[in-house]
Amino acid sequence: MQNISVIGSGTMGNGIAHVFAQNGHKVALVDISQDALNKALATIEKNLDRQIKKELISEDDKKSTLSNITTFTDIPSGVKEADLVVEAATENIDLKLSIFREIDENSSDNAILATNTSSISITKIAAVTKRPDLVIGMHFMNPVPVMKLVEVIRGYATSDETTKTVMEMSKNLGKVPVEVNDYPGFVANRILMPMINEAIYTLYEGVAGVEEIDTVMKLGMAHPMGPLQLADFIGLDVCLSILNVLYDGFGNQKYAPCPLLVNMVTAGYKGVKTGEGFYSYTHGTKELVLADRFKK
Ligand code: NAD
């Protein structure tokens, strides 16, 4: 598997391109505008410099990694040569289905098509292609160059051979792949999102404040970040949409998103990306905000 195409060059896509290119693969990185691709290349360069500073790689490694990446603004040219396509475009089901139809039509018949989706059914994505046995979930974690886990998700029709190839490929990238089946939230988000939702309920019901809840989980459970800070980091809109996938997929009340989360997203408090969520980030640091906003 020499040639990899990565569709989408945002937070995850540029990290995925970085890791494949660093491990000697030729990477075709695709996004809708050259501007987005230039930003992605600048981010990859900055992250490579960070690895040099930490003495993890050399200047030559940086040069060869960057020389392995070519950019494209259309899917047909970007996937033509691919042995493996990893889709990391915006989390939107209609968009992903249309991207997969386009990839399926324009890539070689035996290319494996993977998606980095956090929550959309792999089986549903596979069903719009003519090769559901070759479609699989490859769920990298953020930041991709640092985080070891790859959740490898088998759709209902994914073949053993496709799974084996992707497991081996992930190991060759220095990652630890874990094989799971395709049910709502897979494993990572099925466990993480109810914990975050429960932390938000705990705040909403006035059991404790933001800092208290995060401190209990950090110092008591050895989590590197409290659940409310983590929710801000992931994006409160993303947390809400994944909880809705769990709620709709299982039809179980226990996944119902906390009304406080719904209100915050509706009002535009989406966490780090909008400058405010459970904490304020407007001054470049994490600060506590008025507790009254979180009361029931
Ligand atoms: P992002 O918004 O940072 O990047 C998405 C990119 O996709 C953008 O650059 C956008 O221009 C591009 N795009 C949109 N339509 C496109 C198209 N038709 N063709 C090519 N590119 C297109 O999003 P992200 O956070 O990188 O998330 C990408 C995927 O990874 C999502 O499925 C998300 O659920 C998943 N994911 C995200 C995280 C995370 O922490 N951010 C973690 C794991 C998985």
Whether 91 is in the pocket of ligand 1, judged by its Cβ within 6 Å, is yes
212 & 177 share domain = no
- pLDDT average, residue stretch 158-168: 98
Rounded to the nearest integer, the mean pLDDT of the chain is 96
Cα angle 110, 114, 103 (rounded to 5 degrees) comes to 60
Peptide bond into 132 cis (omega under 30): no
- Give me the residue label for tokens 């970085």: 18
Ligand 1 atom closest to 142 (CA)? 40
Question: Do 176 and 205 share a domain, yes or no?
Answer: no
- Is residue 14 domain-shared with residue 160, that is, in the same domain? yes
Buried b (16+ CB within 10 A) or exposed e, 230-246: bbbbbbbbbbbbbbbbb
Provide the CATH number for the domain around residue 103. Answer: 3.40.50.720
In short, whether 237's Cβ falls inside 6 Å of ligand 1 is no
Residue having the nearest C-alpha atom to atom 8 of ligand 1: 10
36 CB under 6 A from ligand 1? yes
Distance from Cα 31 to the centre of ligand 1, integer Å: 10
For ligand 1, is residue 78 a contact (CB within 6 Å)? no
State residue 22 phi and psi, 5-degree precision.
Answer: -65, -25
Q: Does the Cβ of 99 fall within 6 Å of ligand 1?
A: yes
Question: Which among 6, 12, 72 is the best mutation to test ligand 1's pocket, defined by most ligand atoms within 8 Å of the CB?
Answer: 12
| Judgement on whether residues 61 and 166 belong to the same structural domain of the protein | yes
Whether 290 and 145 share a structural domain? no
Question: What is the per-residue pLDDT across 35-76, written as a single tens digit (0 to 9) for each?
Answer: 999 999 999 999 999 999 999 999 999 999 999 999 999 999
- One domain, residues 90 and 140: yes
* CATH at residue 201: 1.10.1040.10
How far apart are the C-alpha atoms of 60 and 255, rounded to whole Å? 49
Q: What does the block give as tokens for 4?
A: 């990899």
Cβ atoms of 288 and 279 within 8 Å: the answer is yes
Closest ligand 1 atom to residue 36 Cα is 9
Range of the domain at 29: 3-181
Q: What is the pLDDT of residue 260?
A: 98
Is the pLDDT higher at 20 or at 291? 20
193 and 226 both lie in a single domain: yes
216 and 288 in a single domain? The answer is yes
Query: Which among 181, 199, 234 is the end of a domain?
Result: 181
In the sheet that 135-140 helps form, which strands lie side by side, from edge to edge? 69-72, 26-30, 3-7, 84-87, 112-115, 135-140, 149-154, 176-181
Which helix (H) or strand (E) is 207 found in, with range?
A: none
Nearest to 178 by CA among 228, 123, 141, 215: 141
CA of 296 to the centre of ligand 1 (A): 33
What's the sign of the alpha-carbon dihedral 193, 126, 17, 41?
Answer: negative
Domain boundary among 153, 181, 209: 181
Pair (169, 214) in one structural domain = no
Asked whether residue 116 falls in the same domain as residue 220, the answer is: no
Each residue of 139-153: pLDDT tens digit?
999 999 999 999 999
In this prediction, residues 241-246 reach a mean pLDDT of: 95
Helices marked H in 54-155 — which ranges?
A: 59-67, 75-79, 93-106, 122-127
Which residues lie closer than 8 Å to 270 by C-beta, 6 or more apart?
A: 235, 236, 237, 264, 277
Q: What is the pLDDT of residues 187-238, one digit of tens each?
A: 999 999 999 999 999 999 999 999 999 999 999 999 999 999 999 999 999 9
Same domain? 172 vs 204: no
Give dist(CA 69, CA 144) in Å, integer.
Answer: 16
Domain end marker among 136, 162, 181: 181
Q: What's the structural domain count of the chain?
A: 2
